[in-house]
Amino acid sequence: MTNSKETMQNCKLCKTQIADKRNSHIIPKFMCKRLFENANPRHSIQVSKDGIQTKLQDIPKENHIFCSRCENRLGKIESYFSKVFTDVNSLQNARRKYKLENIQNQEILHCEDINPSMFYLFLYSLIWRCSISKDLLFDTFSIESNIEEEIRVFLNNNLQELHSDLLEHSRKIENIPNYYLCLIKPKYKTRGIFSAYNFGPNSYAIYTVDYALFFYTKEKDCPAEHKLFGNSMNETFKIIIGNDESWKELNNLVVQNMLDYKKPLVPAIEHK
């Protein structure tokens, strides 16, 4: 009988330990739980890039991509940001310090009490996991191999096993991959879709129901507004607060691509 460990590959993050963990989320569960709100029975619909619809009752998970230690390290940064996003979604009850600013008629939220390094660790972990994933939902999200490896090294060098160590270490982080990140949330709780795809040269998007994350690996491909309102080594991390209309327009772009059979389709999950 073959030992199951002999058939397992090494962890994709540390590359040294056996990838023994099962059911690892690519996108943290707390970012997608509203997909299944008010659905009875509980489900959503996944649409593949070939237009095939599948009923889902949970967000994508994969087996044997991480070891127990790296799963724990990713869990620590996820746990921290589950609380951060709870604050951001309900600022009147926020425990941390945030500043709302209006720039050119656009509301911008400055996360003043949070070390920007923590944001980069968390958001790069989402981008990297989407890129390495073999799940069909992430089939059209693939960053260049050298950038994928750069982000992996950054994550592996800086994620910590203890919450206290993570907070302490975040103040010392250097050599953060310097790309353009733009994080958008709706002003009100207007639910979006769940999708991840490459939408142009060196341009990527991840939609997580309540947030849209845009990632650009080349400055020339980053739109002026995303450069102005986004993040590239800023002193504080910024989140764009979109009004209902602009948020719906963002999500409708993905839905239109899903419905347009003359173009390559974008895999996505819709609330049903």
Q: Of 133-147, 226-240, 244-258, which one has max mean pLDDT?
A: 133-147
The pLDDT, as a whole number, for residue 268 is: 44
Half-sphere exposure of 104 (CA within 13 A, CB side): 6
The amino acid that residue 57 corresponds to is Q
pLDDT at 120 over 90: yes
What's the CA gap between 218 and 2, in Å, rounded?
A: 46
Q: What is the pLDDT of residue 216?
A: 96
pLDDT at 124: 98
Q: How confident is the model at residue 65 (pLDDT cuts 50, 70, 90)?
A: very high
Q: What is the pLDDT of residues 183-218, one digit of tens each?
A: 998 887 666 678 888 888 899 999 888 889 999 999
Q: Determine how β-strand 180-186 pairs with β-strand 237-242.
A: parallel
Looking at per-residue pLDDT, the higher value among 148 and 50 belongs to 148
pLDDT tens, residue by residue, 134-185:
988 888 899 999 999 999 999 999 999 999 999 999 999 988 999 999 999 8
The residue assigned the tokens 């993040």 is 231
CA 241/CA 257 separation, integer angstroms = 24
pLDDT at 262: 40
Compute the distance between CA of residue 144 and CA of residue 202 in angstroms, rounded to an integer.
9
**pLDDT score of 1 more than 60:** no
Segments in 18-115 forming alpha helices (H): 68-89
pTM of the predicted model, to two decimals?
0.84
